[in-house]
Amino acid sequence: MLNLIPNFLMQAESDKLGSAFTPGLPNTPKTFWLPEGASTIASEIDWIFNFINYINYFFFFLVVSIMLYFVWKYRQKGRDVYARGPSHHLMLELGWTILPTIIVVVIFFMGFRGFIDMRVPPANSYQIDVTAQRFAWSFKYPNGAVSNDLFVPAGQPVKLIMRSEDVLHSLFIRDFRVKQDVVPGRFATLWFQADQPTEGDKFHWVFCTEFCGTGHSLMNSKCFVLPEADFKEWETEQARWLDKIPAEELYFKAGPKLFARCASCHTLDGKLGTGPSWGNYDGTGNVWERNQVGTSRKVDGGKALSDFIGPGKQYETPEGYLRASILNPGEHLSDPYGNAMPTFRGQITDKGIDALIGFMKHLDEFDAKGVWLKAPPAAAATDPAKPAVK
């Protein structure tokens, strides 16, 4: 439908958008039907929604009232039934044709205007690249920072450039009143502007609203709106948080934080999910123990894992196999699982992979939720980079 909009009209709307919304607008209040509106477009969307709703209310009560009146007035009072009635009424037929047409045209005009506003981001938008995959969102920022939750600056338009790694997804931020399907093989865009920072532990939910598999209901992230100065500080720290952690502390500081991306498909307590649990689910040990040479684990339809790991084989060490499983997960498949895991190539650094492998080696030090059960060393306790555990 967007292709039908003349380019000059879209450009004109884009030029106007910078002044169409006044920065600092308060959030629209929560109603019976809608949550609090936290974006600059929310008030317009809510107004149209309520306008259509009140039309529905009016005609619902009108039709039901007339129906009840006719049921009472023309109820059968005896055996004789007079079934003949008027066969034509010009003014009535014109009324129920012209009035709905006018209402529909008005709704279309208001909706189309809002559609253009929502589809054309301002020229000064802050761009964030979004990757959808079963069953998580990944947000990448211009300075290279990557996060599982969405962080945006307050009072500035934000443009999301979205793509899918596997199947059809749909990004929906209900408080912002924005939604966009994310189709494999195509890029989709969406923009919004949130003026009010989130305070304390408050946030806005980011949902996937297109059924994408068994873990669809887990594909939820959080959106935090930060004041501009705080956002720039967060963006800078997020881009280098992993580099600031000493190698010996990676597994308990970075491991749980990075595993949050894996938790939508893998568990730590042995319960089966979309992918094999990292815990002991088949009697061969946890993810690190069952990837050692000599275990009975089978891959690729019954082949022994020891055929691939060892001196002179495809992988010299279990670490090499686990690294390949993260970057190229479809090469060897754990029985009886299929090829459902997307590649993380380009989304995680070598140091991040080291942190995950270290996390696997020390799973006995974590509970089922990934919380580290030991006390950090004295040097780590005073480190400003706090462990990524709760």
CA distance 113 to 297: 59
Please report the pLDDT score of residue 275 as a whole number. Answer: 85
Q: What is the mean pLDDT of each run of 10 residues along the chain (390 residues)?
A: 35 40 69 92 92 94 95 76 72 90 93 88 94 91 91 96 94 95 95 93 95 90 95 91 87 88 85 86 84 80 84 89 90 85 83 91 89 73 43
Please report the pLDDT score of residue 192 as a whole number. Answer: 95
Q: What is the pLDDT of residues 31-73, one digit of tens each?
A: 999 999 999 999 999 999 999 999 999 999 999 999 999 998 8
Please report the pLDDT score of residue 385 as a whole number. Answer: 44
Please report the pLDDT score of residue 85 as a whole number. Answer: 67
Q: In sequence order, which residues have a C-beta less than 8 Å from that of residue 91 and are 6 or more positions away?
A: none
Answer positive or negative: Cα dihedral of 6, 9, 15, 21: negative
What 3-state class would DSSP assign to 198? Answer: coil
- 202: which DSSP letter? -
pTM assigned to the model:
0.71
CA distance 215 to 274: 7
Torsion angles phi and psi, residue 306, rounded to 5: -65, -15
Q: Distances from the Cα of 66 to the Cαs of 62, 69, 72, 99, 266, in angstroms?
A: 6, 5, 10, 18, 58
Please report the pLDDT score of residue 378 as a whole number. Answer: 60
Answer positive or negative: Cα dihedral of 47, 53, 56, 58: negative
CA distance 329 to 303: 16
Cα diameter, the chain = 99
Q: Strand 220-226's sheet: what is its strand order? A: 150-153, 220-226, 204-208, 169-173, 178-182
Pairing mode of beta strands 188-192, 136-140: unpaired
- Say whether the peptide bond before residue 135 is cis (omega within 30 degrees of 0): yes
Cα angle 27, 32, 34; round to 5: 45
Q: What is the pLDDT of residues 190-212, one digit of tens each?
A: 999 999 999 888 999 999 999 99
Cβ neighbour number for residue 384 with a 10 Å cutoff? 5
Residue 88 burial (CB < 10 Å; 0-12/13-18/19+)? exposed
CA distance 125 to 104: 33
CA distance 92 to 134: 55
Amino acid code (one letter) for 366: F
Is 254 within 8 Å of 183 (Cβ atoms)? Answer: no
CA distance 387 to 66: 67
Please report the pLDDT score of residue 14 as a whole number. Answer: 41
What 3-state class would DSSP assign to 169? Answer: strand
Calculate what percentage of the chain has a pLDDT beyond 90: 41
Cα 40 versus chain centre, distance:
20
Please report the pLDDT score of residue 176 as a whole number. Answer: 95
Structure-token pair, residue 234? 């967060």
For residue 165, which of 21, 76, 261, 247 has the smallest C-alpha distance? 261
Is 252 within 8 Å of 387 (Cβ atoms)? Answer: yes
What 3-state class would DSSP assign to 224? Answer: strand
Is 42 within 8 Å of 177 (Cβ atoms)? Answer: yes
What 3-state class would DSSP assign to 303? Answer: strand
Domains in the chain, start-ordered, CATH in brackets?
Answer: 2-74+88-119 (1.10.287), 126-240 (2.60.40.420), 247-381 (1.10.760.10)
CA distance 128 to 156: 13
DSSP code string of 105-125: HHHHHHHHHHHHHHHS--TTP
CA distance 103 to 368: 56
Please report the pLDDT score of residue 296 as a whole number. Answer: 75
Cα angle 196, 198, 201; round to 5: 165
